[in-house]
Structure formats: C-alpha cells, structure tokens
Chain A
Amino acid sequence: MEEKFEPKIIAFLCKWCSSAGSDLAGVSRMKYPPNVVPITVMCSGSISTNYILSAFKDGADGVLVSGCHPGDCHYIKGNYYARRRITLVKELLEFIGIEPERFQMSWVSAAEGAKYTEIIKDFVKELEPLGPQNKLRSNL
C-alpha cells in the first residue's frame, strides 16, 4: 500500500499570543494532526522573510506565520510590520507559481486554542491534495 502523503508544516508562532494559543489547545486537550512543528519566536514582527523561504527550501510543504491580532501585539506594533512584510512574501510566492495554500498567515490570540486547532486541521487538509512541495525544495 502506498503511504499516505503527510504534509510537513512549519508554524512560526509569536510567543505571547499564538504560541500561548497553541498551548491552550493542548491544555484543552483539543486534537489536531501532528504534521506541524512549531517554532516560537518573540514576535511575529521578528519573522524574517528569510525564515519563510528557508523553510520552503528545507522541504516544508506549508508554512504558517501566526501573531497577535491587530491592536493586541505584546510589543505594541510588531504584528503590523509583519502583516506588511508577509503580504509581500505571499504575493511574490503566488506570482512565481507557488500554490497560495502553501503559505498562510493567521491571528491567533492566547485564548484561541480552538482557532489554532482548526487552522492546523484545515491547513493539513488543504495541503494533502497538493502533494509534496518540490518547487522550492533544495536537493543539495
């Protein structure tokens, strides 16, 4: 039997909202697929475009960037800068022919464990039919 494709997702989470939201999903014993490996950073504003490109190059099938809702950033306005920067990356990736489903951004607050759970579930579901991301993946 052919093994089912398991998309690999990297989730860049800000420490104060989204990582705390994913912790809440855990505390609430919600269930989502184990395809996602979180990398917690201080603020969504600190997520360099290089991180995203690097994740795709290292073989991520999907990349999620998640921060605090607008107005709730622990660092006041980091998420607003992230929003601009991520918009540009998203547009550029689509422009060169990367499936838009592969790169997503979300606002997840510390209280939104359920939202985080749904995002991951949906993300995996959307990635499954696309198959592995080989376009940007490095063979080196």
Chain B
Amino acid sequence: MRKRIGFFICHCGINIAGTVDVSKVSEELSKYPGVIHSEDYIYMCSDPGQSRMIEAIKEKKLDKVVIACCSPTLHETTFRNAAKVAGINSFQCEIANVREQCSWVHKDMKKATTKAIKISKAAIERARLNESLEPISVPVTRRALVIGGGISGIQSALDLANSGYEVILVERSPSIGGHMIQLSETFPTLDCSQCIMTPKMVEVSKHPKIKLLTYSEIQEVAGYIGNFKVKILKKPTYVNPDKCTLCDECTKVCPVAVPNEFELGLTRRRAIYIPFPQAIPATYTLDINNCPGLFPIACGKCADVCEPGAIDFDMKPEILEEEVGSIIVSTGYDLYGKEEMAEYGYGKYEDVLDGLQFERLLSASGPTMGKILRPSDHKEPKEVVFIQCVGSRDPELHCAYCSKICCMYTAKHAMLYKHHVYDGQPYVFYIDIRSGGKDYEEFVQRAIEEDGVIYLRGKVSKIFQEGDKIKVWGVDTLSGKDIEIDADMVVLAMAMRPSEGASELAKKLKIALDKDGFLAEAHPKLRPVESLTSGMFLAGAAQAPKDIPEAVAQASGAAVKAVNILSQDRLYHSPTIATVNLTLCTGCGMCVDVCAYEAIKLEEGKAVVNEVLCEGCGTCSATCLRAAIKVKNVTPLQVHEMIKVALGG
C-alpha cells in the first residue's frame, strides 16, 4: 500500500528559519515520493502548529508524518501525542532534527538548507518503514521479596509492609538483626544499638503483611520485573517455634560446644542454641552440622529434656515457591578475613581483635557483660591501640576502597573504652580521618579533646607479642617519630567486604557486581538504589560500605522504588524491542551473550526475546551474523534507506 506522508518544517522563530531556507525544504520535500502534504510553519510545537498537523492528517488522510524541528528529546512526545489525537499511531510520527544538529551549528544558508533536506528525507525513509506499535503491558504481582534481614532488609520490609504490600523477608541465619544487633552503641549519638534495633525486629515479626523466613536461602529466581518466581530453601531448625517455651533446658544437656557466631568466637555455644536472647523468631535452632547426628540419632538429649516436645528430629528441608513483583537485595557485609590479615597478628594473638569483637566486649549483654577485659587473661587492658584502614585503601595488597565507617566507629570504640576504663589510654593509628556526616566531625573531636584519645597519623609496621604485651611499632608521620607502644590489646578496623555468598546470590538474581564484588547500582549518581536488572533494588552495605543512617535511607529508597512497581496494576514498556526472524535464526546464541538485560533466551534452538526485559538497544542486531534479529522501528532496512538519502545529492 502506498504511504501518505505529511511533512512539516518548523521555523522555530528564526532559530531554524534564520539559517535554513524552510520554504525551500518544504518545497523540495513536497516532491519527494510518498509526501502528499508539505508545509512550513513558524512554531510547530504551539497549539496552532499542532492543530495544523492534526487537521492535515485528518483532511488528507495522512498515515505518517515527519516534523523537521528541534531535537526529538524536546518535542517528540508532543508531536506523537498530537498524532494520536489525529487518529494515527504515535509511532507513525518521526522527528527530523534540523535545529540542534543543523541550523544552530551552521552559518552558510545554502549548505545548511541542503543538509536539512537530507536530514528530513532520512526521517521520511525511517517513517516510511515504521510499524504501528502499542506499549507492551504486563500484570504485576503486588508482593515483594527482601533478601537479608539486617537493618537494611528490616527497614525495606517494614516500609513496604506499611505501604500495604505483602513482603517476604528471607534471612539465612536463624535470626534477623544482622550486624547491627551485635553492636554496642552507635555513633555519633551513642544510642544503644539493641535498644533501637529490637523494636524494629519485633515489628517485623508481628507485622501481618510480613512473612518472615529465617534459616532460609534463595535457591532460584526466574521471571522478570513485576513477575518474579522465587524458590526458597527453608532449612530445618528441628525445633517447632510454636511449642518452644525458651526454657533453655536443651542447651544445658547438649554435649557440643562450638564457637559462638554472634559473639564472634569470643564465647562458645551449644549445637542447639538461640543466637542471642532477643532473637527473632524467638526460638532455638539445632545446628545439624555440629550435632553429633540425627540419622541415626546419636545423642538426643535435647529432645529428652524438652518438656513441651518442641524438638522434632523429623523436620525436613522445604522448598517454598513464591511469586513477587519486585526484589530488594540487602545481603550486607562481612569483615575482611583473618587469613588475609595475619601480618597484624589477627587470628594469631588472642588480644588482637576486630571491630565487631570489640563491640561485643563493649556490649552490656556481651561475653564480659560490658566490661572491657582481655580475652587472653581477663585483665583490664590499660593501653589499647586501634588501627584504622586494616585492609582498606590498600590497592597493592588488599582492598582499594575506603570502608567508610571505620574512622567513626574507631573514634567511638576509643571513646567508649575510655568511658569503661578511666585510667586507660587509647591510641588510634590512622591515614586520615574521614568524618563527613551530620555531627560526625564533632564526635571525633570529642574523642580527641574530651576523652584524650591519642591519634597518631601513620601506618603500623609491626605487631608482635612480647610477654603479656602486644608490641605495636609504627611511625607518626606528623612528627616523624618512631612509635613503640606496649599495648594490652589491639583492635583492627577491618575492611568491609560483601557478605559471603553474595556473588553466588547475585548470579542467581542476574545482578551485576562491581570490581570489588559489591552489588552494582544502575547508575552511580542517579540510580543508586536500582540494580541493572529491572525490578531488583539494592539496600545497605551489599551495595557499598555504608553506615547505619545511610543503609536505612537506601533501604527506604529501595522500598519506594519497589512501590513504584507494586502500586501499578500493569507495567508498561516501550514496544521498540528486538524481534527474531525464526527462519533466519540459527540459534548460535551470540545475541544471548551480548544482551545486557538477559532478555534473550534460546528455546528449541531459536532466540526468543522477553519483551519486558528488552530495552531495545539493538546490540543483538548488530552482533547477529544472520541478520535474524532487529529492533522494531530502528531496523537495518530503515538505516540502510536513511544512509542512501543522507548521502544523496
């Protein structure tokens, strides 16, 4: 069928008409094949301008229009909407950019006019082959999944649940709370961490909209934005939480003692245990890896003493299948490993601790009931050396990045130490102090001025044990003096790194990682809570090292992003996506490899495009050797025709 094309060129006052002979362009285009209406007008984007276009479409039964005007980023939507009003498909309207890419950058009217004609003809060639398209829409499963039950995951889950959406919160350990529940007091206000954390944990457990799955892991994720299908492995705890009365009789008879994870190995726990008294869910877990054995039952003492009969050795792993519309990943961080930091005596000397272990010593509910005592001999340390940037900012040997929170928590540690041990002397080795944040700088100053923390700028060169002292040698680069401290305890501000297993999870979710293994955000500035996979969002330290307020803020941001999706009945997506010519496709899968959105799959030896995931970039199309895949309305044929006219004349 012959196309009936209308052409309109805008003067844009003198912005276009000043350099481009618009009437000549209009006249030239009126002779162009398929063009049955051509005119120029002073302001096409004005109401009268748009009306002229609408009238022309109706009167002359145009089925396609091309507007030569400013950049499509400005008025493409305007004219496409007008085209729709006139009764033609919005994709039948194309823009020829003759202002930014022509009239504004040239001086010679004759040449600029010739170029404007070429640009206009190219746009007509493109329009001639445009398909009429409607936005793609898919229904939305209006529930969310939050992975990781630390402060970020808890915040996201609560925000989502309080917005009225069902949330599944998955945590792999037996209790939610994450690292925050291990902390003593938090900078810069010195709130008790447990005091502010436990109400949130309880809120999660009581919230009618939140389904909490602890001791559970993500097994498989399929689907796409609005429609994810998730398989969750719920590991058996062998304790029925409904029956358990928390009497603690079981732990008294359990013969096993293993390092207590919650206390970072400073104490030991039983094979059957509750991670900490305020654990949510408030119940015990039988750690099958350390139990003498259930198959057959080797010991069974815990079950024998359990009066309510809460212990159920027959409990089996369960696979739960859930459908959600959006996923928030808040898998948090771990500290840099002991094995990597042997040079500081970490893992070798008992009184060399990491920051989290020191938090436990400071904690009123910790292994020493809040007294600062050396793990080795339970004496009160009188000189404590805190070392910052352990593993951080060390591109040669360790992590290149700054772990961000260590400057602040070291100041807090030194300060709290001083509050506990009045006659003690804390020293801090630092590279420089990064205390950006509300009331942070004041906090550090307080540590130095009021609590007499001695800050030494420089790196530690050697740590070794001599008698019951830990010798710390270093240099104060400000005074140039060698420093030797006979310390009773050393606390290392270890680098933060992505939590163990985060990269495997990222693979399952098809979320990209950055060079350091943290989850990659879609844009470092403008899309910091979005992952590159649409419908999946990032919260907390899983994305980058951050402190509690930042983690909470990002978690709320991620929740709102998820609500953006969940609040819709249907999601709409641009229809200019890739389509496969099945006759030509040989199923080589090169398109699958290059697709940044995992939008292409091979099914029965042919490429199949997921129209919701496809963003229409066309990289597949240029990669395909068989020309079997193309993006609608930017097809190779269209470009082929555009090249011809752009070079014509």
Whether the pair B594, A81 counts as a contact (CB closer than 8 A) is: yes
A88 at interface by CB-CB < 8 Å: no
Residues of chain A lying within 8 A (CB to CB) of residue B639: 39, 41, 48, 51
Whether the pair B647, A59 counts as a contact (CB closer than 8 A) is: yes
Among the listed stretches A17-25, A90-98, A101-109, which one makes contact with chain B, having 4 or more residues with CB under 8 Å of it? Answer: A17-25
Measured between alpha carbons, how far is A26 from B97 in the docked complex, in Å? 11
Taken residue by residue from 31 to 74, chain A's Cβ proximity to chain B (1 for < 8 Å, 0 otherwise) reads as 11110011111110111111100110011100000000000001
Whether the pair B619, A60 counts as a contact (CB closer than 8 A) is: no
Query: Which among A20, A29, A38, A42 is the interface contact of B618 at CB below 8 angstroms?
Result: A42
Known contacts A22-B100, A23-B100, A34-B102; is-contact A41 B634 (Cβ 8 Å)? yes
Whether the pair B100, A37 counts as a contact (CB closer than 8 A) is: no
B81 at interface by CB-CB < 8 Å: no
Residues of chain B lying within 8 A (CB to CB) of residue A27: 100, 104
- Closest Cβ of chain A to B179, distance in Å, is 31
A130 at interface by CB-CB < 8 Å: no
Residues of chain B lying within 8 A (CB to CB) of residue A30: 105
Query: Which among B106, B615, B616, B640 is the interface contact of A54 at CB below 8 angstroms?
Result: B640
Measured between alpha carbons, how far is A69 from B51 in the docked complex, in Å? 41
Complex A-B: 7 CB contacts under 8 Å = A10-B646, A33-B106, A39-B122, A45-B619, A77-B594, A77-B596, A81-B619
Known contacts A34-B111, A39-B122, A46-B617; is-contact A10 B643 (Cβ 8 Å)? yes
Measured between alpha carbons, how far is A76 from B523 in the docked complex, in Å? 9
Measured between alpha carbons, how far is A40 from B107 in the docked complex, in Å? 23
Residues of chain A lying within 8 A (CB to CB) of residue B532: 76
Question: B-side binding surface: helix, strand, loop or mixed?
Answer: helix
- Closest Cβ of chain B to A19, distance in Å, is 8
A5 at interface by CB-CB < 8 Å: no
Query: Which among B114, B636, B643 is the interface contact of A39 at CB below 8 angstroms?
Result: B643
- In this complex, the interface size class of chain A, counting residues with CB under 8 Å from chain B, is 35 or more
B99 at interface by CB-CB < 8 Å: yes
Whether the pair B104, A29 counts as a contact (CB closer than 8 A) is: yes
Given contacts A23-B97, A46-B618, A82-B622, 7 further A-B contacts (CB under 8 A): A26-B100, A26-B104, A33-B106, A39-B639, A48-B621, A55-B647, A81-B619
B289 at interface by CB-CB < 8 Å: no
Residues of chain A lying within 8 A (CB to CB) of residue B634: 41-42, 46
Known contacts A31-B106, A45-B617; is-contact A38 B101 (Cβ 8 Å)? yes
Residues of chain A lying within 8 A (CB to CB) of residue B636: 48, 50-51
Residues of chain B lying within 8 A (CB to CB) of residue A45: 594, 617-619, 622-623
Known contacts A27-B100, A54-B640; is-contact A37 B596 (Cβ 8 Å)? no
Measured between alpha carbons, how far is A33 from B71 in the docked complex, in Å? 19
- Closest residue of chain A to B126 (Cβ to Cβ) is A39
Whether the pair A117, B643 counts as a contact (CB closer than 8 A) is: no
Whether the pair A8, B619 counts as a contact (CB closer than 8 A) is: no
